[in-house]
Amino acid sequence: RYNMTETDLCNMALSHIGEGLITSLDDDNETARICNQYYHHARRLVLSQYMWGFARRVEPLANIQVETYTGGYRHTYLYPEHALRIYRIIQDTELRNGLYTNYSVKDIPNYEVFNLDTSTKAIGTNITRAYVDYVFDVNDPDIFPPIFVEALTRFLAASLAQSLVGNMEMYRAQFQIYQGALLEAKNIVASERQFDLELPVGYIESRRAT
C-alpha cells in the first residue's frame, strides 16, 4: 500500500503549476523552503474551511476554574488543544438521548472563546457537562481522502504560484479549482444522503484549463 507524504502533496501542487519537484521538504533549495513555509498553513486553512468528516471530532470539554473575565458565562472549559475550528458546543444530554445529529453552521453560537493568558485558550458557555464538535488538526497525509487532497494541493498550488512563480493568472486559475473542489466535497456529502451527485458548474472546465 502506498503511503502519501507531505512531500508528495507538495509535489502535486508543484506539478499543478508546472514547477520542478523536490525530494524532501528539507531540501536545501528555494522551492523546498517555500513549500515548507506554506504547506502547514495551507493544510490548516483548508481543514477549517469545510466539515471534512475525517477531521471532525466530538468529545467532552475539560471544565476549569478561573478568576479572570469570562463574559458572564457560568462555565469555563479548556479549548481543545488540536482544534482548528469549533462548530458547536453541545449539552451532554443531547448526545445521550440521540438528539444531536447535525445542524447548520449558521446556528447562533452558544459560547465565546477567550485567551486567559498568553498560553491558555478557554471557552465560556452556560452549558453544563459540555461536549465540543470541532475540526481536529489532522496532519497525517495518509488518511486524507482524495477530494481533500485535491482541494489542499490546489490551494497550495495557488500559494506557490503567487510566491514562487509570481504569476497572478496562474494563482487565480488554481484558486478557482480549489473553490470548485470545496463545492464538489459538499456535493459528495449530499450524494451520500440523496444518491446523486452533480459536479459544480465550471469545475471540469477549470480543471481542463490548467
DSSP designation for 49: T
**Could you tell me the sign of the dihedral formed by the alpha carbons of 155, 160, 162, 163, in that order?**
positive
- 55 neighbors 138 (Cβ within 8 angstroms): yes
* pLDDT averaged over every residue in the chain: 84
Question: How long is the chain?
Answer: 210
130 — pLDDT class (breaks 50, 70, 90): very high
164-176 pLDDT, tens digit each: 989 999 999 999 9
C-alpha to C-alpha distance for 31 and 16, rounded to whole angstroms? 14
Mean pLDDT, range 109-123, rounded to an integer: 85
Mean pLDDT, range 144-160, rounded to an integer: 96
Question: What counts of helices (H) and strands (E) characterise the chain?
Answer: 6, 6
Single-letter code of the amino acid located at 91: Q
Please check the confidence at residue 70 and state whether its pLDDT lies above 80: no
CA distances from residue 45 to 99, 134, 148, 151 in whole angstroms, order as listed: 30, 14, 12, 11
C-alpha to C-alpha distance for 60 and 78, rounded to whole angstroms? 10
Q: Please give the grid coordinates belonging to residue 127.
A: 452549558
